[in-house]
């Protein structure tokens, strides 16, 4: 039986990367592309702050086309929903029937994802749902996933956690009450290597800066050789 074609909601972080890996392993769907939300003002991945050039490099290393939707700031809920709907409907017009999300357990998030998918005539898939965040973190790290922490909510974590590798030491150092996968928005990551990639994604790490209550690790594509 031919698996359904799916687009993956791609943040570029560890959870969406691991969701891709699990779906490919299970054969539940054929992942036909990635869908990434970019800030209209600067072309960076929303919430993660990673430049579009690195998102494109991830897609190339995954062997998948990258679809993007531009999000203005400020953006009303109605405008955001309209842009998501347009992106999903475009994917459906290209033969996609399913959309994959990397959510783990937030009950407040899943119904909205399901509404978005249904409005576009797509079936949602949640391969990480209720797997347990501690077990998922362990599986990702032991499974060879590599990611850099690119943003930290300073109300929940000290600045020093930003810019670190997401590894066993990072998880062990997290304060009590902080989710090991950052599911409550404590931190976000940029996945740059692992079993889902054909090759590692090269990047250059810059300074850690603070703005709007967050610490951000500035990443960029590495300089090209002349």
Asked if omega into 160 is within 30° of 0 (cis), the reply is: no
Residue 8, pLDDT score: 98
Is the residue at 64 inside a domain? yes
Question: pTM value?
Answer: 0.95
Residue 223, pLDDT score: 77
Divide the 226 residues of the chain into consecutive groups of 10 and give the mean pLDDT of each group.
95 98 97 96 93 97 97 90 94 97 93 94 97 97 98 98 98 97 97 98 96 96 73
Q: Are residues 46 and 112 in the same domain?
A: yes
Q: Are residues 66 and 160 in the same domain?
A: no
Structurally, how many domains does the chain consist of? 2
Q: Which domain holds residue 72?
A: 5-125
Q: Are residues 161 and 82 in the same domain?
A: no
Q: Are residues 156 and 197 in the same domain?
A: yes
Residue 186, pLDDT score: 97
Is the residue at 47 inside a domain? yes
Beta-carbon contacts of 116 under 8 Å, excluding residues fewer than 6 positions away, are 81, 84, 85, 88, 99
Q: Are residues 9 and 93 in the same domain?
A: yes
Q: Please compute, for residue 82, the number of CA atoms within 13 A of its CA located in the half-sphere on the CB side.
A: 7
Is the residue at 80 inside a domain? yes
Residue 200, pLDDT score: 98
Q: Are residues 82 and 159 in the same domain?
A: no
Q: Are residues 12 and 81 in the same domain?
A: yes
Residue 225, pLDDT score: 57
Is the residue at 84 inside a domain? yes
Is the residue at 164 inside a domain? yes
């Amino acid at each position: 039986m031919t698996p359904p074609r799916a687009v993956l909601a791609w943040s570029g972080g560890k959870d969406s990367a691991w969701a891709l890996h699990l779906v490919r392993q299970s054969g539940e769907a054929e992942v036909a592309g990635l869908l990434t939300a970019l800030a209209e003002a600067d072309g960076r991945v929303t919430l993660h702050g990673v430049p579009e050039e690195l998102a494109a490099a991830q897609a190339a290393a995954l062997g998948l086309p990258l679809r993007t939707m531009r999000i203005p700031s400020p953006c009303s809920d109605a405008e955001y929903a309209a842009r998501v709907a347009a992106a999903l409907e475009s994917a459906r017009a290209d033969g996609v029937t399913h959309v994959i999300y990397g959510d783990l357990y937030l009950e407040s998030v899943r119904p909205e994802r399901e509404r978005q998918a249904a409005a576009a005539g797509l079936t949602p898939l949640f391969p990480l749902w209720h797997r347990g965040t501690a077990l998922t973190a362990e599986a990702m790290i032991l499974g060879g996933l590599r990611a850099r922490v690119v943003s930290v909510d300073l109300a929940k974590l000290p600045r020093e956690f930003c810019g670190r590798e997401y590894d066993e030491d990072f998880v062990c150092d997290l304060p009590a009450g902080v989710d090991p996968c950052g599911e409550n928005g404590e931190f976000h990551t940029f996945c740059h290597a692992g079993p889902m990639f054909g090759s590692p994604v090269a990047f250059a790490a810059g300074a850690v800066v603070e703005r709007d209550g967050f610490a951000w690790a500035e990443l960029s594509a590495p300089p090209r050789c002349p």
